[in-house]
Amino acid sequence: MLSQSEENYLKEIYALEELASKEVSTNAIAEKMNTKASSVTDMIQKLSQKGLVVYKKYQGSKLSKKGREQAVAIVRKHRLWETFLVNKLDFLWDEVHEIAEQLEHVSSETLIDRLDAYLGHPEFDPHGDPIPKPNGDVVKMQNKCLTDMDVNHSGVLVEVKNSEKAFLKYLNKRNIAIGDHIKVTEIESFDNSMKIHIKEKELVISEEIAKNLYLNT
């Protein structure tokens, strides 16, 4: 039985590993979890003790097989609950993260399997992230980041790498949503901002925004 805190650590380490695919630094974890590095060291040592994390002093940490399994299970729960909130309870995609942050810790295999069935075994959550299968398989997304695209190339927005409320609200305001067809029409080399064609309109977005948008091209 893992504590809520342990679960949150595993989940964030998993997320960081997905990004960088190498050992994650103590500071990186601390930043993600809004704690101090010293707290992270304490927790990492405990998780290492429990065989969930592979840790060598000063060398960063990575999940063990067991730790990764646990992490994926939590991610599965998180994304299924988000899907439930949006598909069944009519929440907007920018309103569900914090609630799912709590729901993901409810422990009951049966519950999550039933929820999965009730939702019709969805493949992606409201932010376009793949929902892990019960056996731990996760569809490997290899979508193209908007910043890596050239002028006149286009694709469908399938994934949003930032689930912060402020960011999602920005997208809502600009009327940018998962499923939209986006075409790059201009790139400003000075600040890497870009002009895109979306829903019959032209929009200018900063590099900071583009970094978080992934397209299926």
Partner DNA sequence: ATATATTTTTAGACAAGTCTAAAAATATAT
Partner DNA sequence: ATATATTTTTAGACTTGTCTAAAAATATAT
In the complex, the residues that contact Mn ion under the rule CB under 5 A are 8, 82, 101, 125, 127, 129
DSSP structure class, residue 161: S
- Residue closer to DNA by CB (options 66, 121) is 66
Minimum CB separation of residue 194 from its own copies in Å reads 35
- Residue closer to DNA by CB (options 106, 139) is 106
Minimum CB separation of residue 170 from DNA in Å reads 28
Does residue number 6 form part of the binding site for DNA (CB under 7 A)?
yes
Minimum CB separation of residue 85 from its own copies in Å reads 8
Among 25, 87, 162, 185, binds DNA (CB under 7 A): 25
Task: Give the sign of the dihedral formed by CA 154, CA 97, CA 42, CA 68.
Answer: negative
Does residue number 22 form part of the binding site for DNA (CB under 7 A)?
no
Nearest to 160 by CA among 172, 104, 45, 100: 172
**What gap in Å lies between CA 84 and CA 103, rounded to an integer?**
11
- Residue closer to its own copies by CB (options 12, 116) is 116
Q: Using CB under 8 A, which residues numbered 90 to 109 contact its own copies?
A: 90-91, 95, 98-99, 102-103, 105-108
Among 40, 71, 74, 215, binds DNA (CB under 7 A): 40
Does residue number 37 form part of the binding site for DNA (CB under 7 A)?
yes
Per the structure block, which two tokens stand in for 118? 């009730």
Q: Using CB under 7 A, which residues numbered 45 to 84 contact DNA?
A: 45-46, 55, 57-60
Q: Using CB under 7 A, which residues numbered 150 to 169 contact DNA?
A: none
Does residue number 110 form part of the binding site for its own copies (CB under 8 A)?
yes
Per the structure block, which two tokens stand in for 171? 């997208």
Would you call 200 exposed, middle or buried from its count of C-beta atoms within 10 A (0-12, 13-18, 19+)?
A: exposed
- Specify which residues 160 forms β-bridges with: 213
Q: How many CB atoms lie within 10 A of CB 212?
A: 20
- Among DNA, its own copies, Mn ion, none, what binds residue 114 when CB lies within 5 to 8 Å by partner kind? its own copies
Question: In the chain, at which residue ranges do the beta strands (DSSP E only) sit?
Answer: 53-55, 61-63, 144-145, 154-160, 181-187, 194-198, 201-205, 213-216
Residues 6+ apart with CB under 8 A from 71: 10, 11, 13, 14, 63
What are the residues binding its own copies (CB under 8 A)? 85, 88-91, 95, 98-99, 102-103, 105-108, 110-111, 114-115, 118
